Every structure is written in structure tokens, then in C-alpha cells.
Amino acid sequence: MIIVTGGAGFIGSAIVAALNKRGITDILIVDELGTDEKWKNLRKLSYTDYVEAEQFYEELSVGKIEDDVQAVFHMGACSDTTEKNCSFLVNNNFECTKLLANRTVENGSRFIYASSAATYGDGEKGFVDDEKNIGDLIPLNMYGYSKQMFDLWAKNLGLLDRIAGLKFFNVYGPNEYHKGKMKSFVVKAFEQINELGYVNLFKSYKTEYADGAQERDFLYIKDCVDMTLFFMDNPEVNGIYNLGTSTARNWNDLAKATFTAMGKETKIEYIPMPEELQGKYQYYTCADITKLRNAGYDKETTSLENAIKDYVQNYLQKDEYLGAD
């Protein structure tokens, strides 16, 4: 059996879909469906069982992982970078991860968990996935720090030579539709273009960046999942790794690619950045994936233009979800 926490969410459901394509269906999905529509991500997936997260962790606190568990993909977390309830983030993103990691390692099963590129903060310390320097990073929000807390805990306990932590950069693609304000800008641009005919981008407040020229490492979900499964296929590869394209592209590029995929003329309007974001905004992110390449992952990532074309034309315009087909 394979356990996927957050298995109804964006990356988690995409992992299940990829496992299904391999013919793997003995999967336990753990999540909290709540009141949003991420349940729709489950409809094209094949799995053995589903358990609500609260019940799963209650049982785990007094029991153990089943002996037949091959791997645990721990994608479950609150990923809202604006969440203000620090105690909630500590419990959800740190304490639950500690419990699950301990149980999985004790059982001898593979543990692969989601860290985050948010741990890098403003990027002043660089974007190199060097475990020795985890404590030097200064996250800009509590979400990022909750992820760093576990990275530090795992390092201090000497677990990083037995588990794999993945720092996802800006992942986008099918199955993120339920994420509200946290969904990628590709979806937001698609919606704005359909509704308004133009796209809004934030103005820049740094002279070295033009409006809309702030840069991100945008990673398509299909590449993200392929990289993630690499760690299941290669259980000897442990530690913390960046998952990205190693190429920074700007918001103008992303908007133009979306217009092109929709067959429309590019129209961009620049709007003020909310004051609460101005001191916490990352102007540049770019994954250094040298460590991943050295570990043996040699596949090329999909270009921004080709990925957005696939996303828009084969998923957004068709209201389609990922599945094994």
C-alpha cells in the first residue's frame, strides 16, 4: 500500500493519478475535504480507501503504520501563505508531520514529504538545497517557517539520511481549481481574460524590476510529480531537494503565454500591490536543481509556453481533471 496525505489536494491527487497510470491502485488517501470542491479531484482516481485527516492522526498517535506500507507521500498541509493562526500551522504542518515521519521511519517505509521554497524567504541566502544551512534561512511568512521547523527537526534528529524532503517552487496545473486565492496565476489569468479581456499584474516597487518583471521558477504539475516519484523509485536518495525548472520566468511571460494559448491578443494592466504584501513579496525565485541532477534525475522539464498551452487547451477550457487516462 501507498499512503498519500493531502491526496485530494493539488499535488497529492496528481501523485495518485500518476501512480494509477503505473497500475498502482492500492492507495490510502488521507485528507480533509471540508467545504471546498477538491473532492472533484478524486473522481478520476482509483484508490483502496479514504480517511479524514483528523481520524488518521488520532489513530496514528496510538498505533503504527501498517506493515505493508511501501511509501508515504506526505503532501497534506495548510499551504496558505497568508494564514495568521500560527498555532494552527504548527499543529498541522509541524506536529502532524513529526508524528507521521516517526511512524513511517519506525516501520521501515519510504517517507517523502513536502517542504517548500517559501523557506528561502526573500532569497538573500540563495536557493541552494544545502541541509547544513537550513538554520540560516529566514522565511517571510509563518507558512514557510512551519515548513522550516520540520526541516530543522529532521536535521537535528539525524533523519535526513533516511527521508526525502521536497522544496516545491511555483507549481501550477490541473487539479488546483479548488485552491481559491492560493491557486496559480495561470488559472487567475485564464479567468480574468474570459471575464475582462485583460490581465492584472502587480506593479514593481524595486527599480531593478519593471512592472510584471518579477521572476519565479514556474514548475508544471506533470514535471513536479515525475520528480516526486523519482524519490519513490530511488529510496537510497535522501535529504532535502529543490523541485523546479532551474529557470526563472517573469509574470509578463506567463500572462503572454496564457493569452497565446487562448488565441487572444495580450492585454496587461498593472495594479498596486497590497500594502500587506509589499514587505513579504519575493521578487525572484529560481530553484538550483544541481543536487537533484547529481542524484540521477535527468529528464528535461516542460517549457513555460508548452506547459501553459497544455494546461489551458486540454484542462482549463475543457474543465478537465487529471486521471489515469
Three-state SS at 232: helix
Q: Active-site residue numbers?
A: 143, 179
Predicted pLDDT of residue 83: 84
Integer Cα distance of 236 and 295 in angstroms: 10
Predicted pLDDT of residue 12: 98
List Cα–Cα distances, 129 to 12, 109, 137, in angstroms: 22, 24, 11
Count Cβ atoms within 10 A of the Cβ of residue 63 and give its class: 0-12 exposed, 13-18 middle, 19 or more buried: exposed
- DSSP letter (8 states) at residue 76: -
Three-state SS at 51: strand
Predicted pLDDT of residue 81: 79
Task: Please write down the HEC assignment for all residues of 148-207.
Answer: HHHHHHHHHCCCCCCCEEEEECEEECCCCHHHHHHCCHHHHHHHHHHHHCCEEEECCCCC
Predicted pLDDT of residue 174: 98
Nearest residue to 92 (alpha-carbon basis) of 135, 146, 16: 146
Check: CB of residue 26 under 8 Å from CB of residue 70. no
Integer Cα distance of 173 and 178 in angstroms: 12
Its pTM stands at: 0.95
Nearest 5°: CA angle at 129, between 288 and 7?
Answer: 95
Nearest 5°: CA angle at 235, between 232 and 238?
Answer: 105
Which residue carries 535526513 as its cell?
Answer: 160
Predicted pLDDT of residue 66: 87
Integer Cα distance of 5 and 75 in angstroms: 5
Integer Cα distance of 310 and 65 in angstroms: 38
Q: What's the CATH fold of domain 2-172+218-244+289-299?
A: Rossmann fold (3.40.50)
Nearest residue to 223 (alpha-carbon basis) of 7, 70, 18: 18
Block means of pLDDT (10 residues each) for the chain, 325 residues, are: 97 98 98 94 98 96 91 91 86 92 96 95 91 92 93 96 97 96 95 97 94 97 98 98 98 98 98 84 92 98 98 98 90
CB count in 10 Å sphere of residue 255: 25
Q: Where are the domains of the chain?
A: 2-172+218-244+289-299
Integer Cα distance of 273 and 248 in angstroms: 21
Predicted pLDDT of residue 276: 80
